[in-house]
Amino acid sequence: MEYFAQQLVYGLTLGSVYGLIAIGYTMVYGIIGMINFAHGDVFMVGAFLSLIVYLVLVAIGITFVPIALLLVLVIAMMLTALYGWTVERIAYRPLRGSFRLAPLISAIGMSIFLQNYVQVAQGPYLKPLPPVVTGGFKFGAAEGFTVNVSNVQLIIVLTTIVLMAVFSLIVGKTNFGRAQRACEQDRKMAALLGVDVDRTISLTFVLGATLASVAGLMYLLYYGVVDFYIGFVAGVKAFTAAVLGGIGSLPGAMLGGLLIGLIEIFWGAYVSGAWKDVAAFSILIIVLIFMPNGLLGRPEVEKV
Amino acid sequence: MSAPLLSLRGVTAYYGAIAALKGVDVDVNAGEIVTLIGANGAGKSTLMMTIFGAPQARDGSIVYDGQDITRMPTHEIARLKIAQSPEGRRIFGRMSVLENLKMGAAVTGFAHYDEDLERMFAIFPRLKERANQRGGTLSGGEQQMLAIARALMSRPRLLLLDEPSLGLAPLVAKQIFSVVADLNREEGLTVFLVEQNAYHALKLAHRGYVMVNGKITLSGQGRELLERPEVRAAYLEGGR
Domain total in chain B: 1
Identify whether the C-beta of residue B173 lies closer than 8 Å to the C-beta of residue B165: yes
Amino acid in the structure at residue A275:
W
Antiparallel, parallel or unpaired: β B215-221 and A136-139: unpaired
Q: Looking at residue B237, what is its pLDDT?
A: 64
CATH code of the domain covering residue B240: 3.40.50.300
Q: Nearest CA to A14 among A237, A250, A164, A287?
A: A237
Q: What digits encode the pLDDT tens for the residues A34-83?
A: 999 999 999 999 999 999 999 999 999 988 999 999 999 999 999 999 99
**Domain annotation covers residue B72:** yes
A2 part of contact set with chain B, CB < 8 Å? no
The ranges assigned to domains in chain A are 2-290
B89/A224 Cα distance (integer angstroms) = 54
Q: Nearest CA to B187 among B232, B144, B123?
A: B123
A250 part of contact set with chain B, CB < 8 Å? no
**Domain annotation covers residue B22:** yes
Render the burial of B144-179: b for 16+ CB within 10 Å, e for the rest: bbbbbbbbbbbbbbbbbbbbbbbebeeebbebbbeb
**Domain annotation covers residue B2:** yes
Q: Is the pLDDT reported for residue A13 higher than 60?
A: yes
**Domain annotation covers residue B186:** no
Residue A249 Cα, gap to closest chain B Cα (Å): 12
Interface A-B: count of C-beta contacts within 8 A? 70
Q: What digits encode the pLDDT tens for the residues A96-133?
A: 888 889 999 999 999 999 999 999 999 999 999 988 88
Q: Is the pLDDT reported for residue A304 higher than 80?
A: no
Identify whether the C-beta of residue A29 lies closer than 8 Å to the C-beta of residue A248: yes
Q: Do A192 and B54 touch (CB under 8 A)?
A: yes
Q: Is the pLDDT reported for residue A16 higher than 90?
A: yes
Q: Looking at residue A136, what is its pLDDT?
A: 86
Residue A185 Cα, gap to closest chain B Cα (Å): 6
Render the burial of A273-300: b for 16+ CB within 10 Å, e for the rest: eeebbebbbebbeebeeeeebbbbbeee
Q: Do B93 and A185 touch (CB under 8 A)?
A: yes
Residue A256 Cα, gap to closest chain B Cα (Å): 22
Arithmetic mean of pLDDT, A184-197: 96
Q: Do A192 and B154 touch (CB under 8 A)?
A: no
Find the residue in B nearest to A196 (Cα).
Answer: B75
Instruction: Give the B window 149-178 contacts with A, CB below 8 Å.
Output: 150, 154
* CB atoms closer than 10 angstroms to residue A94: 12
Antiparallel, parallel or unpaired: β B18-28 and B6-15: antiparallel
**Domain annotation covers residue B104:** no
A269/A48 Cα distance (integer angstroms) = 30
**Domain annotation covers residue B238:** yes
A85/A204 Cα distance (integer angstroms) = 9
Identify whether the C-beta of residue A227 lies closer than 8 Å to the C-beta of residue A125: yes
**Domain annotation covers residue B219:** yes
Who among A182, A191, A196 is closest to B92 (CB)?
A182
Q: Looking at residue A303, what is its pLDDT?
A: 42
Q: B26 — phi, psi (to 5°)?
A: -145, 140
Bond prior to B164 in cis (omega within 30° of 0): no
Q: Looking at residue B1, what is its pLDDT?
A: 57
Q: Give the CATH number of domain A2-290.
A: 1.10.3470
**Domain annotation covers residue B92:** no
Residue B75 Cα, gap to closest chain A Cα (Å): 4
- Percentage of chain A exceeding pLDDT 90: 77
Q: Do B150 and A193 touch (CB under 8 A)?
A: yes
**Average model confidence (pLDDT) across chain A:** 92
Residue A55 CB contacts under 8 Å (≥ 6 apart), including other chains: none
- 10-residue mean pLDDT profile of chain B (240 residues): values are 90 94 96 93 94 95 96 96 96 96 96 96 95 95 96 96 91 92 95 91 94 94 88 68
Contacts of A296 in chain B (CB under 8 A): none
Residue B225: which domain range?
Answer: 1-81+192-240
Q: How much is the ipTM here? A: 0.94
